[in-house]
Structure 1
């Protein structure tokens, strides 16, 4: 059994135990027989999130809410089941290596964009090249790409610089979504006040300051269907989302909730079960798929100071529970950062003042940012100023999803911004991982990357935590309802039978 499968199984068992000895059964209160039945609420199916989406353009995805919107409005050539890392066709009928350095995808003939225009291989070539120009960091798993050929409207041929076992995964990331080349500029981001034009299971109906509304795209052709004719994604803080869940005014709450709110909701659900008075909601079991990490931003003036980077890592060692920038559940994980103890802090020059940004819409990250700041100031005698996620900074506290839930997907935070002295070594190690299917080649290279990450300390792990996702009892998520890096996608939302 894979580490991920074991993690999911252990969480399911824990939830069953929490529900008592009577067994683990689906929550009661069956849903309406159809969205049009008299008992269906007038409001649309509602998803609450604190992190606001900023764009509908795949090349401009910056956060997990952006990724959620992109995953729903667009298709990619491939998709990844994050729990199994299984790679499957999405838009493509099939994608195969026809040679050691040739990856070829075949498209169906009857796919339409929401504009009504047919989707062809020319749109695929345009979209991939556009994303590589506008969002190279988000497309780093396509680093082996040499050229793209489109010999006919349904064939896309990728020629590679070297054999690459990660290339298909690179075609599944949100930034690799296929856009209509007749609607999108080749070198500019499409504003949110212009319609998103994709071929995904949903299309954009409206966007406003409070959220966005998506509707089922009737001409969608692909493996990811949906039963929901209309979904409202709205922005909410933790208290609002908590009360909406209790009052039955939302179907899904994604991230958003503070640790205290999560505890209150779970305690309320437990008490309700004990008293035979169901709370009406439940927490969806997610693995420890969130890695909290501190990242030195490449343009900061202090990033080149090796002593300071090492000092920051040491200052967090006492509280650190994650031992690598590669999560424990991923094959190839190796302990590389020390945990606990009482490390000796190096002497630093006086007057160091750092700025640290974080996802300020997330209460959990706000709490963590304050703890990290306090620890750095106490241990190192430096000044750390907290700023919002949109501001310039030296450091960034992250809990965002990886490009894809694979070893190299997780390691891109580190690999795509190497220190000059490590760049050559890391490029060689990454190519070794990509170009071989043999564990005796891949795993030592992955371990060496993690060891070098601990030396460089440009990305410092803090903790692995579970994702926070609550659903109403009448809601289910079927199939793989998540993007390649455990981003929430809404194509799997269903009324519970």
Structure 2
């Protein structure tokens, strides 16, 4: 049996260390045994984020907040801790390769959904096939799948087209969550006004235009546990979140904060430390796990223009600080995009008008969009119109998490929408990475993919940044506290004793 699972890096840092910009940073502790006791204020444990969730259906996940909801309400066969890339069963009792092209998972008996319905292998098969139909882009890590068999209610057998060391990671992605076959339409996403039915550590209590409330699912059986009986997730802009954190009105603030707000909060942390006082809150360490990138959208009529794509990449070179679409924290990172200098951009010959969308609810992305727009217009003499994230566009600025924190997980933005002339080469390189457990095979193939990405310039890296996650001092995140691509997951939230 091939030894497919190989951790590529470890970023876990224990304890509290000085943050680069000042303040206090913590990393996950080992996962303790779940307990049923908790203490804290009478109001619900409160999480604030600026990015609104749009769905509670895992097959309709579009942003990181959608992924957070899916991770909390549903289970997946596998679980990944992103800092170590440790892969282990979640819903499944065990998953393993029983042959080179057969990946088999065994389920515990007596599993139930929040609806009270039994969870069996039939639900697993239904959920994976449904997600492949409704969200193929989110399920691209399962590209080696040929068929799914369910020989009995507790066995799921995946037959693959080729040996695939990434298949287990694909089963950990939010879109691969398991839903109740009796409660979900196989061909349509469930609207938010209909109750989500899952088997995760939480169940949905309510959803309104200001956020959602989740409660502990007492019948949950899996690798994760939670002490929180009730959590409120609310949408908030940067000023509201900053004040709530300072005033003790929120336990966690995720994304949301503007650069200026982050500086002010870290200044308060430094001042408290200088005064020999315990800060009321701290910043959680998410080192350079955000990759800001500019992506040509497949429907753009300009995407086929190789000269324009290269011109856009060259126009951003002077300010670019990320040299690849694979972050530097990943082992097989290869600097493929030039940095700095004053490159000569090609003449475009005629006035071009592009539309660029961005996550308009993120203060940092709005600032970045204005800078990118200015650089493209100045360097290339083109017109760039900024639109919100729901509108059609030629280009999209992204800072979203990868499907999973593996090299191929990060590269899916590029690999799942290849140019026609690169498609065969990229498919061969990706299969080479997936089907070998030898680093001397995987490393060069990953390097070639990154170099081809610079040639194609359909995904252009801009910068790597720290994740933005602040916690009140009496709060901890323990164990596998984040999703497979560094998405916030609330199963690790605890009151600190």
Segments of 5+ residues of structure 2 without an aligned counterpart are 1-6, 29-34
Tell me, in whole angstroms, the C-alpha distance in 2 between the residues paired with 1:293 and 1:171. 25
> Who is 2:244 aligned against?
244
> Who is 1:231 aligned against?
231
For residues 224-251 of structure 1, what are the alpha-carbon distances to aligned partners after superposition, in whole Å with 9 as ceiling and x for unaligned?
1100000000000000000000000000
By how many angstroms is 1:13 displaced?
3.8
SS at match of 2:18: helix
- CA gap 1:17/1:48 in 2 versus in 1, 3 angstroms: closer
- CA gap 1:294/1:10 in 2 versus in 1, 3 angstroms: farther
By how many angstroms is 1:440 displaced?
1.3
Contact 2:71 2:489 in 1 (8 A): yes
- CA gap 1:182/1:441 in 2 versus in 1, 3 angstroms: same
By how many angstroms is 1:59 displaced?
0.3
Segments of 5+ residues of structure 1 without an aligned counterpart are 27-32
> Who is 2:356 aligned against?
356
> Who is 1:14 aligned against?
18
- CA gap 1:189/1:364 in 2 versus in 1, 3 angstroms: same
SS at match of 1:385: strand
SS at match of 2:125: helix
Tell me, in whole angstroms, the C-alpha distance in 2 between the residues paired with 1:419 and 1:34. 53
- CA gap 1:58/1:3 in 2 versus in 1, 3 angstroms: closer
> Who is 2:342 aligned against?
342
> Who is 2:303 aligned against?
303
Is 1:139 paired with 2:143?
Answer: no
- CA gap 1:60/1:25 in 2 versus in 1, 3 angstroms: closer
By how many angstroms is 1:11 displaced?
10
Tell me, in whole angstroms, the C-alpha distance in 1 between the residues paired with 2:385 and 2:134. 30
> Who is 1:263 aligned against?
263
1:161-310 mapped onto 2 (5 Å cutoff)? 161-310=161-310
1:93-492 mapped onto 2 (5 Å cutoff)? 93-492=93-492
Tell me, in whole angstroms, the C-alpha distance in 2 between the residues paired with 1:307 and 1:25. 44
- CA gap 1:213/1:451 in 2 versus in 1, 3 angstroms: same
Contact 1:3 1:329 in 2 (8 A): no
By how many angstroms is 1:34 displaced?
9.1
SS at match of 2:307: helix
SS at match of 2:320: coil
Q: TM-score, normalised by structure 2?
A: 0.95
Tell me, in whole angstroms, the C-alpha distance in 2 between the residues paired with 1:3 and 1:264. 36
By how many angstroms is 1:3 displaced?
8.0
Tell me, in whole angstroms, the C-alpha distance in 2 between the residues paired with 1:24 and 1:413. 30
Contact 2:318 2:342 in 1 (8 A): yes
- CA gap 1:19/1:446 in 2 versus in 1, 3 angstroms: closer
Tell me, in whole angstroms, the C-alpha distance in 1 between the residues paired with 2:14 and 2:450. 27
Tell me, in whole angstroms, the C-alpha distance in 2 between the residues paired with 1:4 and 1:331. 7
By how many angstroms is 1:331 displaced?
1.6
Contact 1:165 1:436 in 2 (8 A): yes
Tell me, in whole angstroms, the C-alpha distance in 2 between the residues paired with 1:448 and 1:389. 31
Contact 1:246 1:279 in 2 (8 A): no
- CA gap 1:34/1:184 in 2 versus in 1, 3 angstroms: closer
SS at match of 1:137: coil
By how many angstroms is 1:278 displaced?
3.5
> Who is 1:29 aligned against?
none
- CA gap 1:24/1:299 in 2 versus in 1, 3 angstroms: closer
Tell me, in whole angstroms, the C-alpha distance in 2 between the residues paired with 1:437 and 1:484. 21
Tell me, in whole angstroms, the C-alpha distance in 1 between the residues paired with 2:14 and 2:452. 32
By how many angstroms is 1:9 displaced?
4.1
By how many angstroms is 1:41 displaced?
2.5
- CA gap 1:357/1:142 in 2 versus in 1, 3 angstroms: same
The root-mean-square deviation of aligned C-alpha atoms, in Å, is 2.0
Moved more, 305-314 or 8-17: 8-17
Tell me, in whole angstroms, the C-alpha distance in 1 between the residues paired with 2:133 and 2:446. 28
By how many angstroms is 1:276 displaced?
2.9
SS at match of 2:137: helix
> Who is 2:47 aligned against?
47
Q: TM-score, normalised by structure 1?
A: 0.95
For residues 108-128 of structure 1, what are the alpha-carbon distances to aligned partners after superposition, in whole Å with 9 as ceiling and x for unaligned?
001100000010000000000
Tell me, in whole angstroms, the C-alpha distance in 1 between the residues paired with 2:214 and 2:169. 26
SS at match of 1:437: coil
Tell me, in whole angstroms, the C-alpha distance in 2 between the residues paired with 1:246 and 1:46. 14
Contact 2:56 2:69 in 1 (8 A): yes
Tell me, in whole angstroms, the C-alpha distance in 1 between the residues paired with 2:163 and 2:476. 40
SS at match of 1:136: coil
